[in-house]
């Protein structure tokens, strides 16, 4: 234990020391829905950092405010992707070999 640790521990009961030692050995669990900052959001969505900043600052996407920091959940980014996804406009059919081919529209 270093000098700083011994100063922190001075005057505390022994059970607090055990609690601190147990916290040091604590195993972290991976977060299934991490918070993304502006740069991470831009990389995840494949957009520019400026566009990501605009989405966050104009609240066009749901944000988590931690003090002055603004973060976006990865699940929120996934919902944005789903909301911006448009289905194919032209129907698809399969040929005799099972390959998908575009239908030709005859006029």
Q: Note the pLDDT of residue 95.
A: 73
- Report which DSSP code applies to 3: H
User: Residue 61's CB: how many other CB atoms inside 10 A?
Assistant: 19
Q: Note the pLDDT of residue 97.
A: 77
pLDDT tens across 80-107, in order?
Answer: 999 999 887 665 677 777 777 765 555 4
User: Residue 67 to residues 29, 38, 71, 78, 91: CA-CA distances in angstroms?
Assistant: 24, 15, 11, 24, 49
**Domain extents in the chain:** 3-84
Q: Note the pLDDT of residue 71.
A: 95
Low-confidence stretches of the chain (pLDDT < 70) are 1-15, 17, 20, 22-29, 89-92, 102-107
Q: Note the pLDDT of residue 66.
A: 92
What CA–CA distance (Å, rounded) separates 9 from 67?
Answer: 29
Q: Note the pLDDT of residue 54.
A: 95
């Amino acid at each position: 234990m270093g000098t700083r640790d011994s100063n922190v521990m001075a005057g505390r009961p022994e059970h607090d020391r055990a609690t601190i030692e147990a916290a040091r050995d604590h195993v972290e669990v991976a977060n299934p829905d991490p918070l993304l900052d502006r740069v991470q959001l831009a990389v995840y969505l494949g957009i520019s950092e400026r566009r990501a900043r605009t989405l966050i600052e104009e609240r066009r996407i749901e944000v988590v405010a931690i003090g002055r920091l603004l973060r976006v959940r990865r699940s929120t980014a996934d919902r944005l992707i789903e909301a911006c996804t448009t289905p194919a406009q032209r129907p698809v059919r399969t040929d005799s070999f099972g390959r998908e081919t575009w239908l030709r529209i005859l006029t």
